[in-house]
Amino acid sequence: MDIVKRRYLYFGISLLVIIPGMIALLVWGLPLAIDFKGGSLLDIRFNTGAVPQPSQVTALYAQNGFSDSIVQTSGTNGLIIRSLDMTDAQRNQLVAAMESSFGVTITVQRFESVGPSVGQEVAQRAAGAVGLAALGILIYITYAFRGVSNAYRYGVSAIIAMLHDVAVVVGVEAIVAHFFKWEVDSLFLTALLTVIGFSVHDTIVVFDRIRENLNIYRRLPYETVVNHSIVQTLVRSINTQLTVMLTLLTLALFGGITIRHFVVTLLVGVFSGTYSSIFNASPILVVWENREWRTWFRRKESQPVG
């Protein structure tokens, strides 16, 4: 199996996902959910009839164009529903819709606008913290790989693979959010952090094998050693990914609707994390070793295009 040889094919596949995602991000942006930008809070009491399950209310809200609402039971016969800003007319329409579909009568106790529960600046500052974490990882990897030449390349490649995963997750989110009316909430931020953690973790395992093999196969070309290392760790990468993906998949299929968005984001991220550690991070080392960018814009004779 020669993964490194077809590296430009795999880079291409990554770009095929990332570029549309980035365009979607620039054109449509990421719609922010109520925990970042605030919205409306509706506090209702059910006078007659059974209190509906929160998920039923979430679904009804979604049908009426308010996705990602947060529904909480309140006392014994009430619900508190947070959603994006709505007008009085929209509220009346929703209350009427609830009364007719659940067969209940409702009193509105409170209807008011609420501010964000997670400041928007938190998301921006989180980006700063991730940047700082990337720097820390870069320094650590450079130190841990000090035995091999050009140790910093491993750190930089791991960070590139991590950025790749962030770009995939954010890009896919931008596309999906546009078509499925999803909003970016604080759970998305959590999912993104999880993906970052997983990505670097996964990449380092492959790099570790390269580090070890470089000492064993001193005569072999760098490219061959890298490829050999990827193949050797392939079973482990796939098995680890399988166990995580299996758990996430059951959660996505059978879990509650309120965490589905979160789980799907994780699924995309974990898949991307494993993909990038096999097909991007290590091949980038080879590209760097061969200084292949010198031939990117020249004649194609020596360039191995997949």
Partner 1 sequence: MSRTYRLLIPIAVILLLAIFIDLPNSPGIHIIGINRDFTTRLGLDLVGGVQALLEADVPATTTINPSDMSIAEKIVENRVNALGVSEAVVQPAGSRRIVVELPGETDPAKALAVIKQTGLLEFIDMSTISNQQAITLVHTKINTDWAPAVSQPSENTPSVLPTTPDSSISPSGTTTSTITTTVPVQTGPTFHTVMTGADITNVGVQTNTGGGYVVAFELNAEGAQIFKDFTSSHVGQILGIVLDKEVISIPSIDTAITQGKGVIQGKFTSDEANALALQLKYGSLPIPLKVITSETVGPTLGQDSLRKSLLAGLIGGSVVILFMALYYRLPGVVADLALLCYALITYALFRLIPVTLTLPGIAGFVLSVGVAVDANVLIFERIKEELHAGRSLRQAIDLGWNRAWPSIRDSNFSTLITCLILFWFGNTFGASIVKGFSLTLAIGVIVSMFTAIVVTRTFLHLVLDNINFTQHARWFGV
| From 3-11, 85-93, 196-204, 281-289, span contacting partner 1 (CB under 8 A) | 196-204
- Minimum distance of partner 1 from residue 9's CB (angstroms): 27
Query: Site for partner 1 (CB under 8 A): which residue of 15, 23, 125, 303?
Result: 125
Site for partner 1 contains 221 (CB under 8 A): no
The rounded distance, in Å, linking the Cα atoms of 257 and 274 is: 26
Neighbour tally for 55: CB within 10 Å:
12
Site for partner 1 contains 198 (CB under 8 A): yes
Query: Site for partner 1 (CB under 8 A): which residue of 150, 250, 302, 303?
Result: 250
Nearer to partner 1 by C-beta: 11 or 140?
140
Query: Site for partner 1 (CB under 8 A): which residue of 26, 27, 75, 297?
Result: 75
The rounded distance, in Å, linking the Cα atoms of 103 and 51 is: 10
Helices and strands of the chain, counted as H and E runs: 11, 4
Answer whether 261's CB lies under 8 Å from 188's CB. yes
Nearer to partner 1 by C-beta: 24 or 40?
40
With b for 16 or more beta-carbon neighbours within 10 A and e for fewer, the 110-136 pattern comes to ebeeeebebeeeebeebeeebeebbee
Nearer to partner 1 by C-beta: 9 or 238?
238
Nearer to partner 1 by C-beta: 96 or 259?
259
> 235 burial class (0-12, 13-18, 19+ CB within 10 angstroms)?
exposed
Contacts of partner 1 in 267-306 (CB under 8 A): none
- Minimum distance of partner 1 from residue 113's CB (angstroms): 6
- Minimum distance of partner 1 from residue 147's CB (angstroms): 10
With b for 16 or more beta-carbon neighbours within 10 A and e for fewer, the 267-289 pattern comes to bbbbbbbbbbbbbbbbbbbbbbe
Contacts of partner 1 in 76-115 (CB under 8 A): 78, 80, 110, 112-115
Radius of gyration of the chain (CA): 24
Site for partner 1 contains 136 (CB under 8 A): yes
Query: Site for partner 1 (CB under 8 A): which residue of 101, 213, 258, 295?
Result: 258
